[in-house]
Amino acid sequence: MRTNNPVLSKFADTARSTFGLTSPGAMTVAGTAGKASLLLALVVFSAAMTWQQVAAGRTDLVMPAMLVGGLGGFVFAMITSFRPQWAPWTAPIYASLEGILLGAISALYNARFNGLPQQAVLLTFGVTLGVLTLYRFRVLQASAGFKRMMLGATMGIALFYLGSMVLSLFGVQIGYFTSSGWLAIGINVAIAGVAALNLVLDFDRIEEGARMGAPKAMEWFAAFGLMVTLIWLYLELLRLLSRLQGRRD
């Protein structure tokens, strides 16, 4: 169970140190898909509940929902990342918390641009299906060079967002987040593209994990990784559509 992929190495290490050789069952693609569907259902359910409350006039819930969902989701994402064997319990909690966050954010966007979140949802699933199709036909492949490129791009984007948050604490605002100019749109498209291409890494991780015979519980960890990418992609597409809509208004 040796691999150059650091995430899959964590699969192997967890299998040996935590589940051992007697772990019942092995990871499968179908099993991972089922658990990803369950996590997605939790995201949708908690998002719908939050949306309904905000749409009913409970605007006072927006900030608490974003705070609880955002910070709580981040904490459980970190726990799951460093303790993959806990994913059967932490991944559903993460999905529920992220749903609260997405419900509040989507309700705010919908109040300004009616129907925009629904468009973003459809576009997210469309992009995911397109990437999956290209991956299945091996048009897109997770080669070593591709993985390094995606890792570098993703880390760069993460540092950009983190730096922007830190600067905002000192009153310095980055124009990208409020601009509807073509430069901001171009950057948004590039970031959404990186998010979409990260799906290739998720699909490869699932296939490799199944091929390596990773323990059954690791299906939750792989499903969690896929959910993180889908949520990121949805938020980037939501922001992109709002910028395009803002230029038309």
Handedness of CA 60, 63, 95, 135 (dihedral sign): positive
> What's the pLDDT at 166?
83
> What's the pLDDT at 214?
87
Angular region, 204: left φ>0, alpha ψ -120 to 50, beta rest: alpha
Tokens at residue 44, please?
């949708």
HEC per residue, the chain: CCCCCHHHHHHHHHHHHHHCCCCCCECCHHHHHHHHHHHHHHHHHHHHHHHHHHHCCCHHHHHHHHHHHHHHHHHHHHHHHHCHHHHHHHHHHHHHHHHHHHHHHHHHHHHHCCCHHHHHHHHHHHHHHHHHHHHHCCCCCCCHHHHHHHHHHHHHHHHHHHHHHHHHHCCCCCHHHCCCCHHHHHHHHHHHHHHHHHHHHHHHHHHHHHHHCCECCHHHHHHHHHHHHHHHHHHHHHHHHHHHHHHHC
Give 215's strand partners.
26
pTM here is 0.89
pLDDT at 23 over 70: no
Read off the pLDDT of residues 149-172 as tens digits, 9 standing for 90 and up. 999 999 999 999 988 888 877 877
Give 26's strand partners.
215
Tokens at residue 119, please?
């468009």
Read off the pLDDT of residues 213-234 as tens digits, 9 standing for 90 and up. 888 989 999 999 999 999 999 9
pLDDT at 16 over 60: no
Domain residue extents for the chain: 27-246
Q: Measured between alpha carbons, how far is 93 from 80 in angstroms, rounded to an integer? A: 10
> What's the pLDDT at 14?
54
Average pLDDT over residues 7-16: 50
> What's the pLDDT at 19?
46
> What's the pLDDT at 4?
40
φ and ψ at residue 83, rounded to 5 degrees: -135, 70
